[in-house]
Structure 1
Amino acid sequence: MAKVTLKGFIKVPGRDLEAVEDELVIHRQLTLEEPGCITFKVIHDKTDPCRFDVYEEFIDRKAFEQHQQRVASSDWGKLTRNVKRHYEVFE
C-alpha cells in the first residue's frame, strides 16, 4: 500500500485561536501515538496569527482513514468545526 501525505493549512477564527493553540498540544501527541503515523507537523504561521501549516504522513490509506475517524469524534474535532481547511492529499 502507498503512503498517504496530507499537506496544506488551516485558518482559525480569531475568537477560537487561544483554545485551538491549547488543544493542539494534545491533538499532536495523540496523533503521533497513532499506529501508522509517520509524521505530523502543525506550524503556526509567522505572518498570519490565524494560519497553521499542516503536514501529515501515514503508512497507508487505512491508517490515514483511522486518523480521520478519531479526529472527527475528538475534542480537537469539535473545537475546530469552524476552522477552514485547505488540504491536498497524495498517495
Structure 2
Amino acid sequence: MSKITLSGHIEVPKEDLNAVLTELPKHIALTHQEAGCITFTVTQDSDNPQRFDVYEEFTDKAAFEKHQARVKASHWGEVTKKVERFYTVTES
C-alpha cells in the first residue's frame, strides 16, 4: 500500500469566507476521525485571508478516496463548492 499526500492551497471567494471559517473546525475534526488519516491541516494565510494552505496524508488510496467522497457529500462540500483548488496529489 502507498501513502497518499495532498498539498497545495484553496482560494475562497470573499462572499464565502465567513461560511468557510465557520465550518472549517468541524471539517478538520471530522477528517481527523477518518480511518486512514495520518495528518490533515488547513491554515489561513496571514497575508491573504482568502487563501488557505492545505496538507493531508492518508495511509492509502482507499482511505483518501473515502475522504474525498465524504467531503463532496458533506456540508463542507456545499460551503466550498465555489472555492478554487490548487492541489498536488502524490503516492509514495
TM class by shorter-chain length? Answer: over 0.9
Question: 1:36 Cα shift?
Answer: 0.2
Paired residues in the alignment total: 91
Q: What are the ranges of 5 or more consecutive residues in structure 1 without an aligned counterpart?
A: none
Work out the percentage of aligned pairs sharing the same amino acid: 56
Question: 1:59 Cα shift?
Answer: 0.1
Query: 1-side partners of 2:11 and 2:70: how far apart?
Result: 21
Letter in 2 for 1:15: E
Residue aligning to 2:39: 39
Question: 1:78 Cα shift?
Answer: 0.7
Query: 2-side partners of 1:15 and 1:71: how far apart?
Result: 21
Q: TM-score, normalised by structure 2?
A: 0.98
Q: TM-score, normalised by structure 1?
A: 0.99
Q: Deviations over 1:3-39 (max 9, x none)?
A: 0000000000001101101100100000000000000
State the Cα RMSD in Å: 0.3
Q: Deviations over 1:24-74 (max 9, x none)?
A: 010000000000000000000011010000000000000000000000000
Runs (4+) of structure 1 exceeding 6 A deviation are: none
Q: What are the ranges of 5 or more consecutive residues in structure 2 without an aligned counterpart?
A: none
Residue aligning to 2:80: 80
Query: 2-side partners of 1:32 and 1:49: how far apart?
Result: 23
